[in-house]
Structure 1
Amino acid sequence: MTGSREGPSRQASLRDSNLRLVLATVLAAEEPPSRAAVAATTGLTRSTVSRLADELVTGGLLDELDRSPAPGRGRPGTPLVAGSGVAALGMQVNPGFLAARVVDLRGRVLSEDLVPGDLSGSDPVEVLRRLGLMARTVERAAPASTRLVGRGLAVPGLVAARHGRLLSAPNLGWADVPIRRLLPRGLGGSALTVANEAELAARTVAAAAPGRPGPYTDFFYVSGEVGVGGAIVLDGRVFGGRYGWAGEVGHITVDTDGPPCSCGSRGCLEQYAGLRALRQDVERAGWALGVALAAVVNLLDIPTIVLGGHLAHAADALRPGVLREMEQRVLSSPWRPPDVRVADEDPAAGATGAAYQVFDQVLDAPASLVPQR
Structure 2
Amino acid sequence: MPVPAPGSQREIRRRNLSRVLYAVAEHGPSSRASAAARLGLTRTAVSTLVDELLRGGLLTEQGPESSGGGPGRPGTALALADSGPCGLGAEIGVDHLAVCAVDLRGRVRARTRVESRSRDSGPEATLGRLGTLVDEVASAARTAGLRPSGLGVAVPGLVARGTSTVVRAPNLGWHDTDIASALAQATPGAEAGPPDSEAGPSGSGAGPGASTPPLTVDNEANLAALAELWLGGARMPRDFVHVSAEVGIGAAVVLDGELLRGTRGFAGELGHTPVRPDGPRCACGGQGCLEQYAGERAILRASGADEADPRGPALTALAERAASGEAKALQALDGAGEALGIALAGTVNLLDPGAVVLGGTLARFAPWLLPSLEEQLTHRTAAPGSLPELLVSQLGSEGPLLGAAHTAVRAVLDDPPAYAARR
Structure-2 residue corresponding to 1:40: 37
Structure-2 residue corresponding to 1:128: 127
Asked if the contact 2:250/2:269 (under 8 Å) is kept, the reply is yes
Structure-2 residue corresponding to 1:317: 368
Superposed, 1:53-202 pairs within 5 Å as 53-69=50-66, 73-85=71-83, 86-144=85-143, 145-183=145-183, 184-185=186-187, 186=190, 189=193, 190-191=204-205, 192-202=215-225
How far the C-alpha of 1:251 sits from its partner, in A, is: 0.5
CA distance, structure 2, for counterparts of residue 330 and residue 199 of structure 1: 24
RMSD value, Cα:
2.2
C-alpha distance after superposition, 1:142-165 (max 9, x if no partner): 253102111111101110142311
C-alpha distance after superposition, 1:233-275 (max 9, x if no partner): 1222222122211111000110011111000000000100100
2:241 counterpart (220, 231, 238): 220
Asked if the contact 1:20/1:363 (under 8 Å) is kept, the reply is yes
- 5+ long unaligned stretches in structure 1: none
Structure-1 residue corresponding to 2:352: 301
How far the C-alpha of 1:24 sits from its partner, in A, is: 2.2
CA distance, structure 2, for counterparts of residue 87 and residue 360 of structure 1: 10
C-alpha distance after superposition, 1:42-88 (max 9, x if no partner): 11100110110121122122232221245664221222222222201
Structure-1 residue corresponding to 2:282: 261
Does residue 1:206 correspond to 2:229, yes or no?
Answer: yes
TM-score by length of 2: 0.81
CA distance, structure 2, for counterparts of residue 227 and residue 135 of structure 1: 25
Q: CA 1:38–1:94 in structure 2 vs 1: closer, same or farther (change >3 Å)?
A: same
Does residue 1:278 correspond to 2:278, yes or no?
Answer: no
CA distance, structure 1, for counterparts of residue 402 and residue 165 of structure 2: 20
How far the C-alpha of 1:367 sits from its partner, in A, is: 1.8
Structure-1 residue corresponding to 2:48: 51
Asked if the contact 1:59/1:371 (under 8 Å) is kept, the reply is no
CA distance, structure 2, for counterparts of residue 360 and residue 161 of structure 1: 19
- In the TM superposition, structure 1's runs of 4+ consecutive aligned residues that sit over 6 Å from their partners are none
CA distance, structure 2, for counterparts of residue 83 and residue 177 of structure 1: 36
Q: CA 1:172–1:75 in structure 2 vs 1: closer, same or farther (change >3 Å)?
A: same
How far the C-alpha of 1:216 sits from its partner, in A, is: 2.9
* Letter of the structure 2 residue corresponding to residue 194 of structure 1: V
Moved more, 336-345 or 226-235: 336-345
1:361 counterpart (411, 418, 421): 411
Corresponding residue SS for 1:147: strand
* Letter of the structure 1 residue corresponding to residue 369 of structure 2: L
How far the C-alpha of 1:283 sits from its partner, in A, is: 1.6
CA distance, structure 1, for counterparts of residue 154 and residue 380 of structure 2: 33
How far the C-alpha of 1:337 sits from its partner, in A, is: 2.4
Q: CA 1:239–1:83 in structure 2 vs 1: closer, same or farther (change >3 Å)?
A: farther
Q: CA 1:222–1:188 in structure 2 vs 1: closer, same or farther (change >3 Å)?
A: farther
CA distance, structure 1, for counterparts of residue 416 and residue 149 of structure 2: 11
C-alpha distance after superposition, 1:111-154 (max 9, x if no partner): 11111243334310000000111111111112531021111111
Corresponding residue SS for 1:162: coil
* Letter of the structure 2 residue corresponding to residue 365 of structure 1: D
Moved more, 272-281 or 258-267: 272-281
Q: CA 1:214–1:97 in structure 2 vs 1: closer, same or farther (change >3 Å)?
A: farther
Q: Which has the higher helix share?
A: 2
How far the C-alpha of 1:371 sits from its partner, in A, is: 7.5
How far the C-alpha of 1:33 sits from its partner, in A, is: 2.4
How far the C-alpha of 1:97 sits from its partner, in A, is: 0.9
Moved more, 91-100 or 360-369: 360-369
* Letter of the structure 2 residue corresponding to residue 175 of structure 1: H
How far the C-alpha of 1:25 sits from its partner, in A, is: 2.0
Q: CA 1:338–1:371 in structure 2 vs 1: closer, same or farther (change >3 Å)?
A: closer
CA distance, structure 1, for counterparts of residue 228 and residue 347 of structure 2: 19
CA distance, structure 2, for counterparts of residue 150 and residue 214 of structure 1: 28
Corresponding residue SS for 1:263: coil
